[in-house]
C-alpha cells in the first residue's frame, strides 16, 4: 500500500467528493433532458426490482418474525402483549422496512453496478462509448438511478407487508395471540406521517445505491483487482451512507411531523 502525506490524502478525499457530486448531479440533471434510454431503464428495473424480490421478501418476512418475538418478550413484562402488532408495524414501516431493504438492495445491486461498469471502464468500453458519441453517464448511470429509486420504493412496500405478515405468523402460531387483533392494531397504529416517513427514505436510499455504485464503477482503476476493490467500496460506502441518511431523514421527519 502506498502511503501519502495528510495533505495529499485530504485533497484526494475532497476531489473524490467533488467527482461524486458532479456525477450524481449530472445523472439527476439527465432526468430532465433527452435522449432517454427507456430500454435500459426497463432492463435495470427488471434486474434491480424483480431480481431483488426474493431477498427482500425473505429479509422482510423474518425481520417481522423476530421483531414479534422480541417485542412480545419485552411487552409481556408489562402485560401488553396485545401491542405486538403495533410494535411490529411501526418498526417495519418507519425504520426496518426501508433500511433493511436498502441494505439488501445495496449489497446486491451497488456491487453489481460497480463491477459491471468497472469492468467496462478497465476494458476501455466506457472510452469506446464516448468515442462513439454516447454519453456514458446518460446511458449507464441515469437508467440505473431511475430504476433503483422506483424499484426500491415498491420493494420497501413489499418488505413492510411481508414483515407485518411475518410478525402476524409468529404472533398467532408461537405467541398464541389473536390474529385479527394483531392485524387490527398493526393497521390502526399507522398514521400518514409514518407512511410518508417510511416511503420517503427509499427515494433517497435508491439514489444513494445507484449513484455510489456507478461512481465507484466509473472511477475504477487497476484491472480486475481494481474492479474487486470498487465493488467492495461501493457496498461499504452505500451501506454506511444509507444508515447516516436514515438518521438525518428520521430527524427531519420528526421535526416536521412531531414525535407521533
Footprint of other proteins on this chain (CB under 8 A)?
120, 123-125, 127-135
What grid cell was written down for 218? 466509473
How far apart CA 14 and CA 83 sit, in angstroms, is 48
Nearer to other proteins, 92 or 117 (CB): 117
Q: How far is the CB of 133 from other proteins (least distance, A)?
A: 5
Q: How far is the CB of 116 from other proteins (least distance, A)?
A: 9
Q: How far is the CB of 80 from other proteins (least distance, A)?
A: 55
Nearer to other proteins, 116 or 194 (CB): 116
How far apart CA 57 and CA 210 sit, in angstroms, is 21
How far apart CA 178 and CA 134 sit, in angstroms, is 59
How far apart CA 144 and CA 210 sit, in angstroms, is 6
Q: How far is the CB of 140 from other proteins (least distance, A)?
A: 11
Give the 3-state secondary structure of residue 134. Answer: coil
How far apart CA 166 and CA 143 sit, in angstroms, is 33
Q: How far is the CB of 128 from other proteins (least distance, A)?
A: 4
Nearer to other proteins, 35 or 179 (CB): 35
Nearer to other proteins, 51 or 249 (CB): 51
Nearer to other proteins, 12 or 178 (CB): 12
| Residue pair 94/194 in contact by the 8 Å Cβ criterion | yes
Nearer to other proteins, 125 or 232 (CB): 125
Q: How far is the CB of 37 from other proteins (least distance, A)?
A: 10
Q: Which residues are within 8 A (CB) of 213 and not within 5 positions of it... i.e. 6 or more apart?
A: 106, 109, 110, 111, 112, 113, 114, 117, 144, 234, 238
Q: Nearest 5°: CA angle at 68, between 152 and 59? A: 30
Q: How far is the CB of 33 from other proteins (least distance, A)?
A: 11
Nearer to other proteins, 94 or 138 (CB): 138
**90-93: which pairs have CB atoms within 8 A and are 24 or more residues apart?**
90/189, 90/190, 90/194, 91/67, 92/60, 92/63, 92/64, 92/67, 92/159, 92/160, 92/163, 92/164, 92/167, 93/160, 93/190, 93/194, 93/195, 93/197, 93/198
Amino acid at each position: 500500500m502506498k502511503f501519502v502525506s495528510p495533505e495529499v490524502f485530504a485533497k484526494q478525499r475532497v476531489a473524490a467528493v467533488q467527482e461524486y457530486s458532479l456525477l450524481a448531479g449530472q445523472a439527476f440533471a439527465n432526468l430532465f433532458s433527452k435522449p432517454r434510454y427507456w430500454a435500459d431503464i426497463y432492463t435495470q428495473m427488471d434486474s434491480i426490482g424483480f431480481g431483488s424480490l426474493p431477498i427482500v421478501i425473505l429479509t422482510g418476512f423474518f425481520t417481522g418474525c423476530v421483531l414479534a418475538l422480541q417485542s412480545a418478550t419485552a411487552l409481556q413484562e408489562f402485560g401488553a402483549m396485545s401491542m405486538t402488532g403495533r410494535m411490529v408495524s411501526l418498526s417495519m414501516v418507519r425504520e426496518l422496512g426501508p433500511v433493511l431493504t436498502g441494505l439488501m438492495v445495496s449489497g446486491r445491486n451497488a456491487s453489481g453496478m460497480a463491477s459491471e461498469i468497472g469492468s467496462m471502464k478497465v476494458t476501455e468500453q466506457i472510452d469506446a462509448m464516448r468515442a462513439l458519441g454516447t454519453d456514458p453517464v446518460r446511458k449507464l448511470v441515469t437508467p440505473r438511478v431511475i430504476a433503483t429509486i422506483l424499484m426500491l420504493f415498491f420493494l420497501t412496500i413489499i418488505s413492510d407487508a411481508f414483515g407485518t405478515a411475518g410478525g402476524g405468523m409468529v404472533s398467532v402460531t408461537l405467541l398464541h395471540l389473536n390474529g385479527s387483533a394483531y392485524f387490527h392494531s398493526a393497521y390502526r397504529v399507522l398514521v400518514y406521517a409514518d407512511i410518508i416517513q417510511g416511503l420517503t427514505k427509499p427515494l433517497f436510499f435508491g439514489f444513494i445505491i445507484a449513484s455510489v455504485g456507478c461512481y465507484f464503477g466509473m472511477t475504477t482503476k487497476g484491472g480486475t483487482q481494481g474492479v474487486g476493490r470498487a465493488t467492495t467500496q461501493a457496498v461499504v460506502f452505500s451501506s454506511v451512507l444509507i444508515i447516516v441518511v436514515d438518521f438525518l431523514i428520521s430527524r427531519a421527519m420528526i421535526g416536521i411531523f412531531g414525535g407521533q
